[in-house]
Chain A
Amino acid sequence: MSDMNVESTRVAYGRALCELGERRSDVVVVDADLTTCTMTCFFAQKFPERFFNGGIAESNMVGMGAGLATTGKTVFVNSFAMFSAGRAYDQVRNAVCYPRLNVKVVGTHAGLSVGEDGATHQCIEDISLMRTIPNMTVIVPCDAEEAKRATIAMSEYDGPCYLRLGRSPVPAVTSGVADYDFQIGKASTLKQGTDATIIACGLMVGKAMEAAAVLESTEGLNVRVVDMHTIKPIDKEAILAAARETGAIVTAEEHNMIGGLGAAVCEVLSEVPAECCVPIIKVGVADVFGHSGTAEACLEKYGLTVGHVVDAVKKARSL
């Protein structure tokens, strides 16, 4: 994988937001003192009259966003996932989702891969928090291209969205995929397969693709990889098809196994015809707080590597 193809989802988002600002005068951006981290700095520089930095005050930031949205603006509010989805949860719920306002809540530096900052900043609960709020749409892009497309798609959707982004650069997993398209609520099958399916989101999609390659070369298995970029509304058809056609499912996410992608997939498979009753193994954080370390060291320590996904597929097939 060349360096050209490696970029973080947050940087791609920042660029896409700035491009969006060129085309759409209704786009307004609010940040809370993290513009060079959330990458809203590009937009802020170009459109200062439509950008507000409210300082280190995320609750107010989300509330301001809601107020701006009542006037017809398409508003992006930005912070680390820990603070936009975590600290400002009540504001997201009551000021944005309850009145169904057109606010896009963006959480960067999500998951363990924020790395050295440690557990206080490693948000592993945001997917769960955001997807349980009525009216909320939850999107977790897997690479830079998908982050860009998700940003545009969200801006064209009228209503609350949560966009989960990562700090670390990730490989461009969608670039070589024929017919790749991004549609909210429609999973992207990045690799076809019949022996098992890995359903993943965020940076675990790249690891799922690597795992599928390993399983092919070492075990001769033909594993499907589904990029479940929209956690809510989730693509039930893609999940049911995976169950029916491949007979075993592994989910992979940089999030607590409670309440995240794996749980959402299990919810879908809990009420299905007999032919869809298949083994499911969840790869994710086992309900523990993270620790300081490099991104890769954190992912290794908490069981989120290619090897863990490979083992999970083998186990699911053996059940």
Chain B
Amino acid sequence: MVQAAQSGHLGGSMSVMDILTVLYFNTMRITPDSPKNPDRDRCVLSKGHCTPAMYSILAHKGFFPIEELKTFRRIDSNLSGHVEMTKVPGVDMSAGSLGQGLSAALGMALAARIDGCQYRVYCICGDGEIQEGQIWEAAQVASHYGANNLTVIVDNNRIQLDGFTDRIGGPSNAADKFRAFGWNAIEIDGHDVSQIAAALDAAAADAIAPTAIIANTVKGRGVSFMENNPKWHGGTPNEDEFAIAFSEVQSRIDHLNDVLHKISEGVSR
């Protein structure tokens, strides 16, 4: 997508990919054939620039044809640079101006209470993004109203546009901050799918408070030269870089397919 568009945000998309995969393919109760189902779980991608990840997930989940991904960021495409709820099935909230998604997610969570619905609301923020003051406005109101059906997942990749987060906004201490605001906080490895799933289950089990999952991740995860490199916040690979990246990702997919094959053989024996 990003290669075709020659623009887009790869680094943060790759760090959040495992989180989105667990949410959309394991945890969330959603119905791609009925994207506006009022009882569905919702996910607000507050770091709304990570459309390469979000749109790939939604397409593979069946919300729209995978073929459409090639039109990303084109003037005649529905797939803009930042998530857009009016144009893309499966997107629960438009986002892009950082720091706003948690407030919208809180509004959805409170609506569930008014209507007696059981759905849960997830919000994904970047660790750079939570420098925005509005996040903490939302955090204090969420705990005040005991919005236990609300979970925020912080993609803690430690890099923002201008460089490493601890050199710009200071150390995030995100878990401590959310606890101070009356939230549960769980720290996990954001690339360990079993840890992600377990944390999401734990969040759903809490009867009183909203939960923050601080997912420690690697920006540019999965491509050697992109990992932990601030250059890849919004950069586009050249042809050689693309070839290397593609081959690294492909070999990982092949490896995982092998593992799956062996597991299924084991099961069938």
Q: How far is the CA of A49 from the CA of B144 in the complex (A)?
A: 14
Q: How far is the CA of A99 from the CA of B86 in the complex (A)?
A: 6
Which residues of A pack against B, CB within 8 Å? 28, 49-50, 52, 54-55, 57, 59-73, 75, 90-91, 93-95, 98-100
Out of A54, A66, A90, A93, which one reaches B104, CB within 8 Å?
A: A66
- Residues of B106-140 whose CB lies within 8 A of A: 106-112, 114-115, 133-134, 137-138, 140
What residues of B have a CB within 8 angstroms of the CB of A65 in the complex? Answer: 107
Which A residue's beta carbon lies closest to that of B145?
A52
26 pairs of residues in contact across A and B, judged by CB atoms under 8 Å:
A28-B111, A50-B114, A52-B110, A52-B141, A54-B141, A55-B141, A57-B134, A57-B137, A61-B103, A63-B101, A63-B106, A63-B134, A64-B103, A64-B106, A65-B107, A66-B104, A67-B103, A67-B104, A67-B109, A68-B107, A70-B104, A71-B115, A73-B111, A91-B103, A98-B94, A99-B94
Out of A60, A71, A72, A94, which one reaches B141, CB within 8 Å?
A: A60
- Residues of B208-247 whose CB lies within 8 A of A: none
- With A72-B38, A73-B111 as contacts: A63 and B94 at CB distance below 8 Å: no
Contact B114 A67 (CB under 8 A): no
- Residues of B52-110 whose CB lies within 8 A of A: 84-86, 92-97, 99-110
CB distance from A135 to the nearest CB of B (A): 10
List 6 other contacts, CB 8 Å, given A59-B100, A99-B93: A59-B103, A60-B106, A65-B107, A70-B92, A91-B97, A95-B93
Contact A55 B104 (CB under 8 A): no
Q: Classify the interface of chain B: helix, strand, loop or mixed.
A: helix
What residues of A have a CB within 8 angstroms of the CB of B115 in the complex? Answer: 71
Q: How far is the CA of A67 from the CA of B138 in the complex (A)?
A: 12
What residues of A have a CB within 8 angstroms of the CB of B105 in the complex? Answer: 67
Instruction: Give 3 nearest A-B pairs by CB, closest first.
Output: A67-B107, A63-B103, A60-B137
What residues of A have a CB within 8 angstroms of the CB of B140 in the complex? Answer: 55, 57
Number of A-B contacts (CB under 8 A): 111
Contact A66 B93 (CB under 8 A): yes
Most A Cβ at <10 Å: residue of B97, B110, B133: B110
CB distance from B203 to the nearest CB of A (A): 18
Which residues of B pack against A, CB within 8 Å? 38, 42, 44, 84-86, 92-97, 99-112, 114-115, 133-134, 137-138, 140-141, 144-145
Q: Classify the interface of chain A: helix, strand, loop or mixed.
A: helix
Contact B97 A67 (CB under 8 A): no
Most B Cβ at <10 Å: residue of A28, A57, A100: A57
Contact B108 A70 (CB under 8 A): yes
Q: How far is the CA of A65 from the CA of B101 in the complex (A)?
A: 12
What residues of A have a CB within 8 angstroms of the CB of B110 in the complex? Answer: 52, 64, 67-68
Which A residue's beta carbon lies closest to that of B102?
A63
Q: How far is the CA of A28 from the CA of B112 in the complex (A)?
A: 13
Q: How far is the CA of A66 from the CA of B46 in the complex (A)?
A: 13
What residues of B have a CB within 8 angstroms of the CB of A99 in the complex? Answer: 84-86, 93-94
